[in-house]
Structure 1
Amino acid sequence: MSDWLVALEGTPGGHHLALALALLAALLHAVFGALQKGRVDPWLARGAIDAWLVVLAAPLALFVVPWPEPHMWPLFAGAVVIHVIYKLLQASAYTRGAYTVVYPVVRGTGPLFAVIGAYLIFGEVFTLTQWAGVGVLLLGIFGLAAYNLIFLVVDRETLPAALALAVATGLLVALYTTYDAYAIRATADPFTFLAWFFMFEGMTMPWIALWRWRRMRDGPALRPLVARGLIGAIVALFSFGSIMLATRLDKVGEAAVLRETSVVFAALIGWLALRETVGPRRIALMVLIALGAVIVEMGG
């Protein structure tokens, strides 16, 4: 499968597969967010997910995929540092602010920085039409955040800190998107990077979550947390794995923008599964997000 995937790089078939992978990543990222939404302490949820990531990825890394080339070890170290900082910022933002406000700000900030990063690192250039699409998509995403901020009940005292953390998290999203794209292109077998990355990257947060759980007076039961962590880890493997493969097959900036349609999927999941009210204004904003993604894709 690795040889087949590598052979598609830079081809029309690779472009179409990258498009499908980016959209799959968007859908799964929305599912991933819904699994953590408002039910479990975000630090504990992330710790449970990452513990399972290590358990699931270790056999693949140690016994299935080819061994990493020597030059990959520093790249793994850099990826782990970036992703740990991202997780710390994300958990801090979710702790201080409402998910429905923080999530769109993170997802809206990420693609803008990622497109700039793709230009600086990979020399990718967006057309004027694609920049217009980015503008439409960002208008929809930040409009959704503003709508939630105005009409939903949020904690106003901690909101400024939550929004600042959300913007910082979006910057880290762009950083890990471009860094991971560089790293996965640096190895002959992309699945080698994925397996070893998930194993290394999941080793930090479980210890932080365990420390936090022990300090709680009335911590959640472990069995449901472990079960939720397993589901989240499986979703994370396919979500983050899909976007990383997409950035190897095709342009990093386009994949980053298309992934942010996860905001649309998140709203649909909230409506269909969580029985949340969507309303005409939010539908209009979601149409803008989808339209922006289509403009970016068609304008390339």
Structure 2
Amino acid sequence: MTEWILSIQGTEAGHRAALYLALTAAVLHALFGSLQKGRIDPWISRGAVDFWLVVLALPIALFVVPWPRGGEWLLLAGTLPIHFVYKLGQAYAYTRGAFTVVYPVVRGTGPIFTVIGAGLIFHEAFTLMQWLGVGLLVSGIFGLALYNWRNLTEGRETLAAALMLAVFTGAMVAIYTTYDAYAIRNTVNPFTFLAWFFVIADLDFPIIAWLRWRRMDPAQRPDPRGVMRLGLFGALIAFGSFGFVMLATRLDKVGEAAVLRETSTVFAALIGWLILKETVGPRRIALMSLIAVGAVVVEMGG
């Protein structure tokens, strides 16, 4: 697998593979996001997911992939503070605002900053047509957030703080996407980076979740078995969601992979409609179509 990844990097085959990987990551990210729709305290659910990520990734890191060498350890160490701040922002935003409003703002802010960062770090250039696609996609995402906000019945008093945190978290998405793309490109074996990333970058929130659990009123604590089952399912999804988009950034443009990943808002709405039996309506369908069109324009305009 490693040899194949390296052989198609920067080729037309690599471009097509990156497209499929980014879109698959979008579907998985939407599924991952649906797990956090107000069921369990976001701090505890994230801690459970990260616990399983470490448990499942550690044997692979130790016994399957080559170990990092030299400066690769420093690149991996750099992921911990960046992702820690990102997860803090996300947890605070989800605590203060409705998921259906906060999630689109986070995902809509991310690609704008990522495309700019990819231009500065990797010297990637978007065409005018691609920037039009970004504008369409982001407009659709923020439109979904506005639509959900207008139909919100609870939690309006803390929504302003939640939205500011969502924009900050979106900026952190761009920072970690750009940094991780740089790190995986400078690690000889991409699977070495991925395996050790899931170990190193996920050591923090299990501790935070445990401390938060201990401080909670026993009557308000969620069922630990349910939390751990949710965490295991979320970890399995996260392996694909994050791993696929990182491989896409290794194979092709970082900015395009980041934009295509944010079609997750479309898939999240579809999951809500098909699985959670939520009402979609013509306005949401139109906004979802706008996001999809934007992604197509980005892809075709390159």
Q: TM-score, normalised by structure 1?
A: 0.99
Q: Distance in 2 between matches of 1:146 and 1:49?
A: 29
* Secondary structure of 2:184 counterpart: helix
Query: Shift of the alpha carbon at 1:298?
Result: 0.1
Query: Shift of the alpha carbon at 1:74?
Result: 1.3
Query: Shift of the alpha carbon at 1:284?
Result: 0.1
| Equivalent residue number for residue 15 of structure 1 | 15
The residue type paired with residue 282 of structure 1 is R
Q: Distance in 1 between matches of 2:88 and 2:279?
A: 30
| Equivalent residue number for residue 240 of structure 1 | 242
Whether contact under 8 Å (1:21, 1:246) holds in the other structure is yes
Whether contact under 8 Å (1:119, 1:125) holds in the other structure is yes
Q: Distance in 1 between matches of 2:194 and 2:153?
A: 39
Q: Distance in 2 between matches of 1:75 and 1:22?
A: 23
| Equivalent residue number for residue 137 of structure 1 | 137
| Equivalent residue number for residue 39 of structure 1 | 39
| Equivalent residue number for residue 160 of structure 2 | 160
The residue type paired with residue 185 of structure 2 is R
Q: Distance in 1 between matches of 2:11 and 2:66?
A: 25
Query: Shift of the alpha carbon at 1:155?
Result: 1.2
Correspondence 1:173-192 to 2 at 5 A? 173-192=173-192
5+ residue gaps, structure 1? none
Query: Shift of the alpha carbon at 1:245?
Result: 0.2
| Equivalent residue number for residue 127 of structure 2 | 127
Deviations 1:63-110 (CA, angstroms, capped at 9, x unpaired): 000010110111111111100110010000000000000000000000
Correspondence 1:197-276 to 2 at 5 A? 197-217=197-217, 218=219, 219-276=221-278
Q: Distance in 2 between matches of 1:21 and 1:153?
A: 37
Q: Distance in 2 between matches of 1:254 and 1:154?
A: 36
The residue type paired with residue 121 of structure 1 is I
| Equivalent residue number for residue 282 of structure 2 | 280
Alignment of 1:83 onto 2:108 = no
Structure 1 segments, 4+ long, off by >2 Å, are none
Q: Distance in 2 between matches of 1:155 and 1:44?
A: 20
Query: Shift of the alpha carbon at 1:215?
Result: 0.7
Whether contact under 8 Å (1:44, 1:209) holds in the other structure is yes
Alignment of 1:114 onto 2:114 = yes
What is the root-mean-square deviation of aligned Cα atoms in Å?
0.6
Q: Distance in 2 between matches of 1:22 and 1:119?
A: 19
Whether contact under 8 Å (1:97, 1:154) holds in the other structure is no
The residue type paired with residue 40 of structure 1 is I
Query: Shift of the alpha carbon at 1:152?
Result: 2.5
Correspondence 1:50-61 to 2 at 5 A? 50-61=50-61
5+ residue gaps, structure 2? none
The residue type paired with residue 292 of structure 2 is A
Q: TM-score, normalised by structure 2?
A: 0.99
The residue type paired with residue 244 of structure 1 is M
Whether contact under 8 Å (1:80, 1:200) holds in the other structure is yes
Q: Distance in 1 between matches of 2:153 and 2:72?
A: 46
Q: Distance in 1 between matches of 2:190 and 2:73?
A: 14
After the TM superposition, which of the residue ranges 165-174 and 152-161 deviates more from structure 2? 152-161
The residue type paired with residue 162 of structure 1 is A
